[in-house]
């Protein structure tokens, strides 16, 4: 790819030090190459966003809403090409790639609606003290850097880009070097819609590019989704500038199954929570807490369901689970299989890489995993489930909350009053009851503890890119 970076309304060639090789994970073979952006090009992108900011933030909310609807429409027009690219570069099965595309479309449509509903620039604030008036303004926070991961490209960028543009911010977007191609669509759409130059900039690169963006003194805010290790580096860089950040980081989430559940339904929810996107989700429910009364019936059916799952190349087969997205992730998951053997864990099924082309592993379950196990406590980011039993509701809550993460959880019970009670007691940002992980743009996304700072989606996603200003005037 000759010109992979979109800076100040133009496509330009990379001038950085890294050559990025894009792979098809189902084959383990490269199919594209591009040169990374240089530090100077990151400077150019930030400068372009800074120049574009005054005019863009002065644009009427209705005009911004129309452009956001244009993004949604243009994504729909590119539907088949983007779905195929998700399948090829991420290894997603078709039904997952379709949901990703629909999610991105819905996100732009939702924030277009919110942009139209933005209040006027001034809202009166009643004061108890006489002799003064006060008003509130909601203003765009400014130039924002967006760094997005490889597991849900297009989607995570939509979650950040749409509310940022709706609020009146200008943007520098850095996609993951593992999946840099699909976000090119946003630059193409910006061109098609005549989005003013500099409002959206896209720079591709590896760690050097990400570090240059996250430490740039020309940003007013940074939003990052990715691992805790990189997130802590991003936070340190932001701290040097006293810059606000939104961080959506890791998880080690629990799915709690009570003994009044329908076994087959519970198995469906468990399988979806650990095999969607081959388990490469910060929200993967990778810790199964199953009540004593149902465990002996559930675990054999779970084993059978995973062993019957079709794993393969989504471009040539009707599969339920594709490969891991990168060789690095494949090697990481394989290392946890080795750790499990060293720890003497009981493997119910799986626990191995698959002997075929591409970066495939078997869906895996370890049972009776001790609470001190590395597999119980560390985020693996693969289709690896660890199971423990519990006797009482209090034990389930205590075990689920015993984690340095707090992103999501799932509760499965026919007793809805109990399910709601447990949901309220869990120390996480999002809980599903008797459901797969359905994520709606109207609800918030984000976690507690080590799972991050701030919220995305819903009105909270928009407010993350707004600054509050109060003006108080003396009447005397």
| Residues known to be catalytic | 248, 282
Structure tokens at 362: 């078997």
Burial class (CB in 10 A: 0-12, 13-18, 19+), 293: middle
Is there a contact between 235 and 245 (Cβ–Cβ < 8 Å)?
yes
- Taking the C-alpha atoms of residue 362 and residue 275, their distance in angstroms, rounded to an integer, is 10
- Taking the C-alpha atoms of residue 333 and residue 386, their distance in angstroms, rounded to an integer, is 14
Is there a contact between 222 and 49 (Cβ–Cβ < 8 Å)?
no
- Taking the C-alpha atoms of residue 91 and residue 278, their distance in angstroms, rounded to an integer, is 9
Is there a contact between 473 and 141 (Cβ–Cβ < 8 Å)?
no
- Taking the C-alpha atoms of residue 83 and residue 440, their distance in angstroms, rounded to an integer, is 20
CA distances to 287, 292, 382, 403 from 368, in Å: 11, 12, 19, 17
CA angle (293 as vertex; 291, 295 as ends), nearest 5: 65
- Taking the C-alpha atoms of residue 358 and residue 468, their distance in angstroms, rounded to an integer, is 50
Is there a contact between 177 and 5 (Cβ–Cβ < 8 Å)?
no
Burial class (CB in 10 A: 0-12, 13-18, 19+), 432: buried
Residue that is written with structure tokens 């992980």 in the block = 437
Helices (DSSP H) in 60-183: which residue ranges?
61-77, 79-85, 94-116, 155-167
Is there a contact between 198 and 86 (Cβ–Cβ < 8 Å)?
no
- Taking the C-alpha atoms of residue 6 and residue 174, their distance in angstroms, rounded to an integer, is 11
Q: Is 27 helix (H, G, I), strand (E, B) or coil?
A: coil
- Taking the C-alpha atoms of residue 426 and residue 253, their distance in angstroms, rounded to an integer, is 11
Contacts of 155 (CB under 8 A, 6+ apart): 100, 103, 104, 107
Is there a contact between 108 and 75 (Cβ–Cβ < 8 Å)?
yes
- Taking the C-alpha atoms of residue 314 and residue 305, their distance in angstroms, rounded to an integer, is 19
Residue 215: CB atoms within 10 Å: 19
Residues forming beta bridges with residue 33, ordered by sequence position:
21
**What dihedral angle (degrees, nearest 10) is formed by the CA atoms of 54, 57, 62, 64?**
90
């Amino acid at each position: 790819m000759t010109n992979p970076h979109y800076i100040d309304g133009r496509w330009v060639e990379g001038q950085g030090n890294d050559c990025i090789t894009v792979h098809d994970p189902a084959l383990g073979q490269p199919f594209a190459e591009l040169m990374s952006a240089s530090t100077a090009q990151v400077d150019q992108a930030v400068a372009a966003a800074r120049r574009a900011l005054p005019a863009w933030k002065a644009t009427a909310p209705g005009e911004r809403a129309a452009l956001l609807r244009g993004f949604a429409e243009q994504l729909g027009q590119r539907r088949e090409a983007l779905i195929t690219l998700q399948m090829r570069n991420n290894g997603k099965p078709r039904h997952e790639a379709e949901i990703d595309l629909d999610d991105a479309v819905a996100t732009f449509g939702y924030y277009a609606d919110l942009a139209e509903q933005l209040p006027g620039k001034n809202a009166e604030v009643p004061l108890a003290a006489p002799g003064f008036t006060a008003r509130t303004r909601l203003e765009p926070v400014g130039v924002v850097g967006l760094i997005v991961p490889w597991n849900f490209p297009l989607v995570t960028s939509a979650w950040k880009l749409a509310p940022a543009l709706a609020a009146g911010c200008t943007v520098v977007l850095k996609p993951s070097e593992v999946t840099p191609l699909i976000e090119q669509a946003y630059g193409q759409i910006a061109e098609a819609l005549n989005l003013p130059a500099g409002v959206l900039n896209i720079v591709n690169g590896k760690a050097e590019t990400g570090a240059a963006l996250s430490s740039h003194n020309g940003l007013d805010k940074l939003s990052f989704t990715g691992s805790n290790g990189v997130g802590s580096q991003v936070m340190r860089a932001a701290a040097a500038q006293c810059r606000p950040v939104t961080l959506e980081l890791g998880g080690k989430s629990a799915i709690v199954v009570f003994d009044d559940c329908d076994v087959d339904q519970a198995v469906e929810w468990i399988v979806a929570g650990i095999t969607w996107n081959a388990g490469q989700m910060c929200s993967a429910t990778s810790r199964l807490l199953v009540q004593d009364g149902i465990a002996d019936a559930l675990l054999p059916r779970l084993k059978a369901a995973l062993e019957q799952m079709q794993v393969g190349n989504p471009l040539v087969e009707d599969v339920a689970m594709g490969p891991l997205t990168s060789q690095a992730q494949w090697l990481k998951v394989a290392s946890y299989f080795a750790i499990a053997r060293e720890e003497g864990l009981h493997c119910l099924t799986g626990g191995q890489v698959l002997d075929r082309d591409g970066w495939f592993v078997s869906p895996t379950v370890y049972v009776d995993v001790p609470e001190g196990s590395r597999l119980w406590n560390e985020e693996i980011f693969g289709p690896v489930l660890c199971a423990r039993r519990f006797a009482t509701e209090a034990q389930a809550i205590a075990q689920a909350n015993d984690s340095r993460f707090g992103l999501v959880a799932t509760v499965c019970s026919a007793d809805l009053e109990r399910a709601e009670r447990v949901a309220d007691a869990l120390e996480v940002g999002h809980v599903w009851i008797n459901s797969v992980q359905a994520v709606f743009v109207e609800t918030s996304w984000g976690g507690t503890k080590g799972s991050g700072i701030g919220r995305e989606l819903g009105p909270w996603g928009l407010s993350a890119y707004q600054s509050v200003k109060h003006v108080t005037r003396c009447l005397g």
